[in-house]
Amino acid sequence: MFARRNRRPKSAESLKAWECLDDGDLPGAARQLRAGGEDTPAGDVALVVERAAEMAGFDDLKAAAGALAGNPTDAEALYRFAYACVERGLSFVAVPPLREVLRQHPGALGPLRELVSAYEREGRHREAVDALLAHESGLVDWPDRYLLVFNALMAGDLPLARSRHAGLTDPTDPMWLPVQARQRRMLERAASAERTSPLDGTDLRGWSYVAGGTVLGTLSPYGFAAGMTGRYAWLQDTHEQCLQGLLRLRAAVEAAGLRPRSVSLLPDRGSRILGLAAAGIFGLPAEPFAPGREDTVVIAYDLNALAGTDEGPALLGQLLERAPGQVLHEHASCWTDTPVVTPDSVCLFQQSVVAPWEGRLRQATEGGVEKTAPDQRPPAEIAADIIAADPTPDEGDGDTPADPDEAFGAFVAAVRTTWLQGPRDRVHAPSAVRSSRFA
């Protein structure tokens, strides 16, 4: 045991990860393992993960990694290590050992399902499809062929999803009934969206709707052709963007034929500011959120920020089940860490956002960058600034496709019969459209 504890990995990227651990940098070690790709020897990866797990206090992962470090070709050790990695959020580390287990034991459904789970958590749905197709003759309907349909949808392969869905039997175990209903809703949303939307590899609005029933209001005007495809990475938000999102929300509500009677305010500061602005734009009374209230627009600035408040988890739990005529709108939705409740409407997708009223980075007069003080005015005053802002969209770099109000309204009109259906369950994969992201 002492000798193994003093072993060091030998491959270049695992050594870089080891050095990060020398400095106590666990995220840095994970980034180095990811950068090393999937050809890093399993024993080296296991040594790094064993040490990192010990530092993090993950005893299960530490034990599994230690066993693999001692026997890096053993199928049982590979599987247990991969399973622990998936459970601890290291799905990318789990992929190579699971593929090796399947190489040693072709057709083994347990490792195959775990590999599909790892691919899903990494957003690698096409690879999940390919893995399932390679073993299709041995699949059972639930969960395997269901997973094939789901991952085909999330990979943007509608023909494959439809053909395999048509052959699915109804599940005999009632535990699969909710996911069967969810999958049917996804296919119904796809059928309604494709009336006006191409559902191709860059159709962020269309595929976001298919995935979770979310109507996306605006596309990022920067970097569309450079890998962002309509999403933001880091964003300093503005009053103007808040107004654009609320105007698109109002257009969506009108195109769907809804008649809200109030705007519901969530308690966090950002949501209250935006909710008061929404009340002014809709010409409706603003009321504190109450669970079960019908015919209302619930306004959130960032649902992940709300989740971090004392009241947030309970409120989000109440929003999982929709009330008739209720629309949940989120302004800045994180697409790399999706909220536990999937909104019905979103202004924009971001990975990291600075709200307009938070301290912001700007060029200092003497050079360099400085952070401004946060806007501590009452929410109603900031809401008034949003209402008075210029709604003209940023022209950006010219690569983002035109998105006129008429096209947006036509999209919502096309999907109105499938919108606002089912619970607002979390969608881990935001859509079939991929975007560049911070590691």
pLDDT of 20 above 80:
yes
Identify the pLDDT of residue 439.
Answer: 64
- With tokens 């500011």, the residue in question is 273
pLDDT of 160 above 90:
yes
333-356 pLDDT, tens digit per residue, is 999 999 999 999 999 999 999 999
Quick check: helix, strand or coil at residue 49?
Answer: helix
CB 29 within 8 A of CB 48: yes
Identify the pLDDT of residue 1.
Answer: 38
pLDDT average, residue stretch 60-66: 98
CA distances 98 to 125, 402, 419, Å, are 16, 43, 38
Identify the pLDDT of residue 370.
Answer: 83
For residues 111 and 115, give the distance between their C-alpha atoms in angstroms, rounded to a whole number: 6
Fold exhibited by the domain 2-122 = 1.25.40
Q: Mean of the per-residue pLDDT values for the chain?
A: 95
Closest CA to 207 of 127, 129, 153: 153
CB 247 within 8 A of CB 281: yes
Identify the pLDDT of residue 437.
Answer: 86
Q: Beta strand pairing status for 327-334 and 345-350?
A: parallel
188-234 pLDDT, tens digit per residue, is 999 999 999 999 999 999 999 999 999 999 999 999 999 999 999 99
Identify the pLDDT of residue 131.
Answer: 98
Identify the pLDDT of residue 4.
Answer: 45
CB 332 within 8 A of CB 237: yes
Name all contacts of 250-255 with Cβ < 8 Å and 24+ positions apart: 250/281, 250/282, 251/405, 251/408, 251/409, 251/412, 252/215, 252/217, 252/327, 252/345, 252/408, 252/409, 252/412, 253/282, 253/297, 253/327, 254/409, 255/409, 255/410, 255/412, 255/413, 255/416
Task: Find out whether the peptide bond into 288 is cis, omega within 30 degrees of 0.
Answer: no
pLDDT average, residue stretch 292-318: 96
Question: 162 falls in which pLDDT band (50, 70, 90)?
Answer: very high
Question: 3 falls in which pLDDT band (50, 70, 90)?
Answer: very low
- Residue ranges of the chain assigned to CATH 1.25.40: 2-122
Question: 6 falls in which pLDDT band (50, 70, 90)?
Answer: low
pLDDT average, residue stretch 357-384: 88
pLDDT of 244 above 70:
yes
65-112 pLDDT, tens digit per residue, is 999 999 999 999 999 999 999 999 999 999 999 999 999 999 999 999
- Residue ranges of the chain assigned to CATH 3.40.50: 200-415
Identify the pLDDT of residue 134.
Answer: 97
Fold exhibited by the domain 200-415 = Rossmann fold (3.40.50)
Extract the tokens encoding 170: 């109804």
